[in-house]
Structure 1
Amino acid sequence: MKSVRRTRGTPPPDAFEAAPGLRNPHLQTVVGRIVRRRPEPRYDRVRLDTDDGDFIDLDLWRGPEDPAGTCLLLHGLEGSARSGYMVTTSEALAAAGIQAVALNFRSCSGEPNRLPRAYHSGQTDDIERALAWVGERYPGVPRAAVGFSLGGNALLNLLGRDRSDRGLRAAAVISVPYDLAASAAALDRGPSRLYGRRFLRSLRAKAREKAARFPDAVAPGAASARTLREFDDLLTAPLHGFRDAADYYERCSSGQFVGSVTIPALLLHSRDDPLAPAASIPVDMIRRQPNLSLQLTERGGHLGFLGRGSGTGPRGWLEQTIAEYISAALSAARTASNAEGAQVVL
């Protein structure tokens, strides 16, 4: 069986082959998290005030002084700019001459936010604010974005809901839960319950902190929720304007929006993903879009993709796949822009 299946679009790099001893999806998922850890990422922090009186924190990689492009990185559930995959991808992008800017979703930057609201899989206003800042900070430099898991779902919401490119020339999303209800169900049963429990420990701790500061905004039972769906019912949904978890999942699942994305985009997913079932990927919809390139590997777990002979960290298969795709797409965008400028001069 082939190790990768993809649709049309900018060709991705070499097909993925799991490293020896790491063919199990749970090993890929867990070991991937371990080997990508970095003690002290080379970030500089910028804080942006939001229109509602809160803030978001951006972490800028200390990369090239004159970047050929910029790339906004969006982390997954209960991650941050310091998550291993965010750091190693920032390193790989910097090596390709691209300035990486990592957005910490609200409550994830290491400092409690000023308001009760946090973040969720369909929230896009903070992403838009971050993209606007990047455009102002690096005028005339082509922009891209990369979203991991929940961050990828939010990015597809942003790009697909109203078919706008948001000033981006390319995007990549990895291990996206295209069907949020299916992903929540996967995290509540079988071996994947271990991941669900890990997420819940962090989420419940934040719920306790929010309940102490904003007792009128947080349901008392949120801090003792037994499943992710129950947590979304008690906190995520009411805090962000949804009727319940089912309403939240239905309105924010990116599978319904991906076919409306208009820019070149790489969609990377493993068939054995234990957190975001590959069965929820709208493959037929994606295949109809020439700008979308679906790279569907047989193995790789969730945000794992530890390949044979590809090293780890910024030299890993996942990081190089992302960096090469984004670099090629931004280079094509610069060429097209230069050609348009030359026609205008003539």
Structure 2
Amino acid sequence: MTPYRAPGWLPGGQAQTLWPLLIKPKAIPLRRERWETPDGDFIDVDHLDGPPESPLLVLFHGLEGSARSHYAISTARACRRMGWRLALPHFRGCSGELNRRPRAYHSGDSAEIDWILRRLHQDNTGRRLHAAGISLGGNALLKWAGEQQQAAASLVSGVAGICAPLDLAACGHQLARGFNRIYTRHFLDTLKSRSAARLARFPGLFDETRMRRSRNLWDFDDAVTGPVHGFAGADDYWARSSAIAWLKTIAVPALVVNPRNDPFLPASALPGPNDISPCVRLEQPATGGHVGFVSGAFPGNLDWLPQRLLHFFTSELS
């Protein structure tokens, strides 16, 4: 498949990141299913149904994303055209309703990825199952694949991580600089609101004053994400949850796409050939932004990313 290249009328990583929000296609109807988790919580999984014998693509969303994110909508539309089934699991609290337990979700939540994939595999009764993750979801999925090594092949045909923040420290500090702080403010608006609601349900879960004073992701992760999920703080969370350390042990076909102009992750932090296993294919186009991948004549479309995923899972697995 043709490597990604941004159209000439859309220059720069910031524009390539933000433009998809303006041309997001219309969502198609999905069937929602609520799953009870082993610890007494729930997640909501949105399904695009199709022929029972067709492949199933599982798509894990990014930070504060959902089935309404532009990449989820464009992937659902592409799957419908191909006659594939699609499952869009929502991480806890991201489907529009606060979850029941104190915990939420985080970039290294490979245990949740494992539970979801095992449940889908069981329901899929031997048919092809492919897994992809966008941004945070991509990091968690790639970490899972590295941890599972050969065992991952019993559940999935392969994995794909798109714009995954493979080095969480590099990503977190990058988002605290310059124009990138607009993304941080967007994330913190919803993270703080949801965290406040969780704190009202579980008093003393974390330091409310520190949470409300957070001005960047390090502040928030040090006050909330880290302590709530068993980490010593932001630095410990970022170090233990970064997928880059697990790329060498992935033993299923893996596609890892990271544009070099992604505002979220500096090109200097991207992995090279010595950082990966022979099963991993790195694609690091010069353009694309953060989950942008706009293509075509003005005003453009969002077809390239779902086409890349479907091509990988249909033509490039070995």
Q: What band does the TM-score fall into relative to the shorter chain? A: over 0.9
Equivalent residue in structure 1 for 2:35, among 41, 48, 67: 48
RMSD between superposed Cα atoms in Å: 1.7
| Distance of 1:173 and 1:297 partners within structure 2 | 14
What is residue 18 of structure 1 aligned with on the other side? Answer: 6
What is residue 107 of structure 2 aligned with on the other side? Answer: 121
Gaps of 5+ in 1: 1-12, 333-346
Q: Residue 142 of structure 2 contacts residue 159 of structure 2 at CA under 8 Å; is this kept in 1?
A: no
Gaps of 5+ in 2: none
Aligned positions of 1:161-176 closer than 5 A: 161-163=147-149, 164-165=151-152, 167-176=155-164
Q: Is it true that 1:177 corresponds to 2:154 in the alignment? A: no
What is residue 304 of structure 2 aligned with on the other side? Answer: 317
Q: Give the C-alpha shift of residue 167 in structure 1.
A: 0.9
Question: Which moved further from structure 2: 271-280 or 146-155?
Answer: 271-280
What is residue 340 of structure 1 aligned with on the other side? Answer: none
Equivalent residue in structure 1 for 2:278, among 271, 285, 290: 290
What is residue 158 of structure 1 aligned with on the other side? Answer: 144
Q: Give the C-alpha shift of residue 309 in structure 1.
A: 4.9
| Distance of 1:329 and 1:99 partners within structure 2 | 19
Q: Residue 98 of structure 1 contacts residue 327 of structure 1 at CA under 8 Å; is this kept in 2?
A: no
Q: Give the C-alpha shift of residue 258 in structure 1.
A: 1.1
| Distance of 1:126 and 1:41 partners within structure 2 | 26
Q: Residue 272 of structure 1 contacts residue 298 of structure 1 at CA under 8 Å; is this kept in 2?
A: yes
Q: Is it true that 1:281 corresponds to 2:270 in the alignment? A: yes
Describe the superposition over 1:81-130 as per-residue Cα deviations: whole angstroms up to 9, x where unpaired: 22110121122133223211001000101111001110000012222222
What is residue 263 of structure 1 aligned with on the other side? Answer: 252
Q: Give the C-alpha shift of residue 32 in structure 1.
A: 1.7
Q: Secondary structure at the match of 2:3?
A: coil
Q: Secondary structure at the match of 1:48?
A: strand
Q: Give the C-alpha shift of residue 329 in structure 1.
A: 4.7
Q: Residue 247 of structure 2 contacts residue 277 of structure 2 at CA under 8 Å; is this kept in 1?
A: no
TM-score of the pair, normalised by structure 1: 0.86
| Distance of 2:310 and 2:224 partners within structure 1 | 36
What is residue 100 of structure 1 aligned with on the other side? Answer: 86
| Distance of 2:266 and 2:36 partners within structure 1 | 36
| Distance of 2:208 and 2:92 partners within structure 1 | 21
Q: Secondary structure at the match of 2:257?
A: strand
What is residue 224 of structure 1 aligned with on the other side? Answer: 213
Aligned positions of 1:21-40 closer than 5 A: 21-38=9-26, 40=27
Describe the superposition over 1:246-274 as per-residue Cα deviations: whole angstroms up to 9, x where unpaired: 00001011110011111111111101000
Q: Residue 56 of structure 2 contacts residue 129 of structure 2 at CA under 8 Å; is this kept in 1?
A: yes
What is residue 64 of structure 2 aligned with on the other side? Answer: 78
Tell me which amino acid in the other structure corresponds to 2:310.
A
Q: Secondary structure at the match of 2:314?
A: helix
What is residue 344 of structure 1 aligned with on the other side? Answer: none
| Distance of 1:86 and 1:329 partners within structure 2 | 22
Q: How many residues align?
A: 314
Structure whose CA Rg is larger: 1
Tell me which amino acid in the other structure corresponds to 2:47.
L
Equivalent residue in structure 1 for 2:235, among 227, 231, 246: 246
Q: Residue 28 of structure 2 contacts residue 77 of structure 2 at CA under 8 Å; is this kept in 1?
A: no
Q: Residue 67 of structure 1 contacts residue 97 of structure 1 at CA under 8 Å; is this kept in 2?
A: no
What is residue 60 of structure 1 aligned with on the other side? Answer: 47
Equivalent residue in structure 2 for 1:89, among 72, 75, 81: 75
Q: Residue 204 of structure 1 contacts residue 224 of structure 1 at CA under 8 Å; is this kept in 2?
A: no
Q: Give the C-alpha shift of residue 206 in structure 1.
A: 0.9
- Identical pairs, percent: 36
Tell me which amino acid in the other structure corresponds to 2:170.
A
- Aligned CA distance change for structure 1 residues 138 and 128 (closer, same or farther; 3 Å): same
Q: Give the C-alpha shift of residue 239 in structure 1.
A: 0.2
- Aligned CA distance change for structure 1 residues 94 and 278 (closer, same or farther; 3 Å): farther
Tell me which amino acid in the other structure corresponds to 2:146.
G
